[in-house]
Amino acid sequence: MTNFLKRNNVKVYGQGDKVMVFAHGYGCDQHVWTDIATSFENDYKLVVFDYVGAGQSDLSAYSKERYNSLEGYAQDILEIYEVLELKDTILVGHSVSSMIGLLAGVQRPELFSKLIFLGPSPRYLNDGDYFGGFERNDLEDLFNMMDNNYLGWSRALAPSIIGNQERPELGERLTNSFCATDPEIAKQFARVTFLSDNRKDLARLTVPSLTLQCTNDIIAPVQVGQYMHENMQNNTLVIMDATGHCPHMSAPEETIKAMKAYLA
């Protein structure tokens, strides 16, 4: 039988009765939450983990078939919940984990009291009237560059994703995280992430949610956050002053403040 806690390098800490689960984005691992998690550990029990292929996860658990869609990752979250006997939790998902968390919430709404989305996107590709921010040929160029030189791609793209060019240490931190991810798994996860279309799933979520939308985000433009808000029930949208795609790293204080205001 698979040891789900070892598979996903699950860590549990903190004080409170209420549980907050942090799900990292593409190319990252659980360490990206360090700057904001400390502000919640006195009031919540915190759960952090690594997706298979990231951080200290069990690489031998990777299956191309299972992880050929975001549903496979959502299943991982539900299995972690089952082992830890979690329910009525707050799930905080960054980027692609917003949709992974949403899929888990659609499947088992009773496990979640609230979902918090940082820089979410239900569809990265432009499609008719829908603006996701990317054309198909943009993504094909991205995938080709990854296939030819994943480390070079990571070093070129990570600083642009995080934004905040005046703080190069942030780009360096994200680059190191990208470079620590298994390249073959990262290539498949990129395709699964960027080619997914979860627009129809938005209306299926009954759990209340918060969308934290950054300004000048090259991965999830403001129009995407507005689309999320307009197509979901019980969704609160906050447009942040923070720029780039990783406010939990670049603007932890503003992110914490927005989360606490929502949870209050």
User: From CA 209, how far away is CA 262, in angstroms rounded?
Assistant: 9
Beta strands in 33-148 (DSSP E): 44-48, 89-94, 112-118
Residue 212: strand pairing partners:
118, 238
**In Å, what is the CA distance from 64 to each residue of 35, 44, 260?**
32, 35, 38
Residue 173 has pLDDT above 80, yes or no: no
Q: What does the longest C-alpha to C-alpha distance in the chain come to?
A: 48
| Average pLDDT for 133-148 | 91
Q: Assign residue 223 the CATH number of its domain.
A: 3.40.50.1820
The secondary element (H helix, E strand) that includes residue 213 is strand 209-215
DSSP three-state, residue 14 = strand
Top pLDDT among 159 and 13 is at: 13
Tokens of 56: 């200290």
Share of the chain above pLDDT 90, in %: 79
pLDDT, mean over the chain: 93
User: Residue 56 carries which side chain, given as an amino acid letter?
Assistant: Q
Give the pLDDT of residue 167: 80
Count of H-run helices and E-run strands, the chain? 12, 7
User: From CA 263, how far away is CA 25, in angstroms rounded?
Assistant: 22
Structural domain boundaries, residue 105: 4-263
Per-residue model confidence as pLDDT tens digits over 178-201: 767 788 898 999 999 999 999 999
User: From CA 213, how far away is CA 117, in angstroms rounded?
Assistant: 8
| Range of weakest confidence among 6-10, 88-92, 134-138, 169-173 | 169-173
Per-residue model confidence as pLDDT tens digits over 197-253: 999 999 999 999 999 999 999 899 999 999 999 999 999 999 999 999 999 999 999
Residue 229 a catalytic site member: no
- In the DSSP assignment, the letter for residue 1 is -
Give the pLDDT of residue 182: 83
Are residues 243 and 215 in contact, defined by beta-carbon separation less than 8 angstroms? yes
Top pLDDT among 27 and 78 is at: 78
Active-site residue, selected from the candidate residues 217, 229, 248, 250: 217
Give the pLDDT of residue 166: 77
User: From CA 172, how far away is CA 181, in angstroms rounded?
Assistant: 15
Give the pLDDT of residue 261: 98
Number of domains the chain is built from? 1
Per-residue model confidence as pLDDT tens digits over 120-137: 999 999 999 999 999 999
User: From CA 176, how far away is CA 180, in angstroms rounded?
Assistant: 6
Per-residue model confidence as pLDDT tens digits over 56-105: 999 999 999 999 999 999 999 999 999 999 999 999 999 999 999 999 99
Give the pLDDT of residue 1: 62
DSSP three-state, residue 92 = strand
Active-site residue, selected from the candidate residues 50, 245, 248, 250: 245
User: From CA 108, how far away is CA 105, in angstroms rounded?
Assistant: 5
Active-site residue, selected from the candidate residues 95, 97, 98, 209: 95
| Range of weakest confidence among 53-57, 75-79, 115-119 | 53-57
Give the pLDDT of residue 181: 79
